[in-house]
Structure 1
Amino acid sequence: MTQLPQLHADLFLADGGAETTLIFDDGIDLPYFAAFPLLDDPDGRAALTRYFERYAGIAERDGTGIVLETATWRANPDWAARRGYDGNRLDRVNRAAVDMLLDVRAKFAATVVISGCVGPRGDAYRPETIMSRDEAREYHSTQIRTLADTEADLVTAMTLTNVPEATGIADAAREAGAQVVISFTVETDGRLPRGDALGDAVRAVDEDTNGYRKLRERFPRLTVLGGCCGTDHRHVDAISRAFSG
């Protein structure tokens, strides 16, 4: 996981909010908003496959690339323990999530980038405890090392609520040799849940980690259009049609 090999499309889409789609559109119960246990259930795997193939099909139709996030947003130690997963099962399910997307990639002519999805240790909207940078690096290293040892192309950490956790994740990714994308949760006022301005948070992480925005400088053609909670394939379909012509 030292570079992004799939850079052959001018436009890249992203999938939407897997958890909200599975809950509200497919009627699947996801305790703690955790989708990764579906990988251990045949019906759950089928639902995830349908979800990802919708997006890959849109990209194939319109000649765009697509970034697909593994179903591992909650697949870190604390959240996994609440679902009864120990370290060995957690390692296995993170790898299985990547394998699922490798299978999807093999079925479609679209350029598919596989992103290993990492979520926050705590609540993504109401953080109660803030780790130090070193604590965050140590905590998230478990999942990031596993993802870096697969055929995933990069790691994306999303819905982060604070700078120390984001910086620790960037440190963990660097140690594992993984490309990483950092994404924060923002409230309606454009600030992180604890009040930091988004621009200040981005600058702080950049300065502390030698600038993860260099990814954009190195790959200027990599433009991603997608969404998060509440976004499904219909929204991305409309976006793709509008931008691809």
Structure 2
Amino acid sequence: MMQLPQLDAPLFLTDGGAETTLVFDDGIDLPDFAAFPLLDDADGHAALTRYFERYASIAERDGAGIVLETATWRANPDWATRRGYDGKRLEAANRKAVDLLLDVRQRFAIPVVISGCVGPRGDAYRPKTIMSRDEARDYHSTQIRTFADTQADLVTAMTLTNIPEATGIIDAAREAEVPVVISFTVETDGRLPSGDALGDAIQAVDRDTDGHPAYYMVNCAHPTHIAPALDPEAAWTKRLRGIRANASKLSHAELDEAEVLDRGDPAEFADDYRKLKARFPQLTVLGGCCGTDHRHVDAVSAAFSG
């Protein structure tokens, strides 16, 4: 099993908001915000390649490593069925997503970590139901086993809203013998959509899984929404290694209703990261989420690469 290089490096970048970039910058229609069908289309495949190469180029320029997430946030059974994919086609899409990043990796002389991206079963902003731990393990295990059978270096569960789904995903990753990172999302008050405090969620998941995740992240929230949830004196914050923030300060509910993309300000975005890292130096995996593009990650990289 690969030793994850981002655990020992002062800075690892990630990519940004893939889906919002593809929709608003490239003009690509993504029903259900699902990017994985692009892997079956030559033009879509090329668009994804350009997207990832732009971020890898920033990291290479500044001498940083980068974690690239496969375009599979929606590539789980429920969402795939809505897009007309059966189990066989879905497995193929997850494998193609890894293959695309393997192709990108060979063109850059920096550490490029390939993460198999696992998304929530339900809506990442307003989950209607919460699975039990066992249900989550069974539901996500097929995708995670597929990633474990590829050259992906780890799996990252993004935009998680509740504790049982996180623990079930970790159980599936443990069974598949693949490293796993858990990334929660928070509302403007710093709490998960389930209502749990971020610290309580991380402590509960670590307790219930014997500290199995490689580390934790927060994504799909603005830095000013994340900061109040963090306590520099709390032991659990040491487990938080990464941030992939939104460009916008809007709430999840407001973003759902927005008809135009709020891109925020890349310089202000980087300054917010600088303030977070000053308080929490263990935050070394840094990138973007909804509304961010290469300019935001460029600004973050410039702020910390020297």
TM-score by length of structure 1 reads 0.94
Give 1:110's aligned residue. 110
Within 2, Cα distance between the matches of 1:125 and 1:207? Answer: 25
Given that residues 131 and 164 in structure 2 are in contact (C-alpha distance below 8 angstroms), is that contact kept between their aligned partners in structure 1?
yes
Q: Paired residue for 1:237?
A: 298
Q: Which has the higher contact order (CA 8 A, sep 6+)?
A: 1
Code of the aligned partner of 2:62: D
Q: Secondary structure at the match of 1:158?
A: strand
Give the distance between the partners of 1:205 and 1:221, measured in 2 at CA. 19
Identity of aligned residues (%): 79
2:29 paired residue number: 29
Alpha-carbon distance, 1:221 to partner: 8.4
Counterpart residue type for residue 67 of structure 2: V
RMSD: 1.8
SS of 2:200 mapped into structure 1? helix
2:284 equivalent among 208, 223, 226: 223
Render the CA deviation track for 1:133-191: whole Å, top value 9, x for unaligned: 00000000010000011000000001111100000000000000010000111100001
Shift of 1:84: 0.6
Cα distance change on mapping 1:243 and 1:45 into 2, 3 Å: same
Counterpart CA distance in 1 for 2:72 and 2:289 is 14
Whether the aligned pair in 2 keeps the contact of 1:118 and 1:158 (CA below 8 Å) is: yes
Sort the Cα spacing of 1:214 and 1:49 in 2 relative to 1 into closer, same or farther, 3 A: closer
Equivalence map 1:99-178=2 (5 Å): 99-178=99-178
Query: Unaligned stretches of 5+ in structure 1?
Result: none
In structure 2, the partner of 1:206 is 206
1:36-62 deviations in Å (ceiling 9; x for gaps):
000000110111001000000001111
> How far apart, CA to CA, are the structure 1 residues paired with 2:162 and 2:208?
14
Q: Does 1:4 align with 2:9?
A: no
Which deviates more from structure 2 when the two are superposed, residues 166-175 or residues 220-229?
A: 220-229
CA offsets 1:2-41 (integer angstroms, 9 cap, x no match): 2335458542101111011111111110000000000000
2:75 & 2:153 partners in 1: Cα distance? Answer: 18
Rounded to whole Å, the distance in 2 between the matches of 1:96 and 1:4 is 23
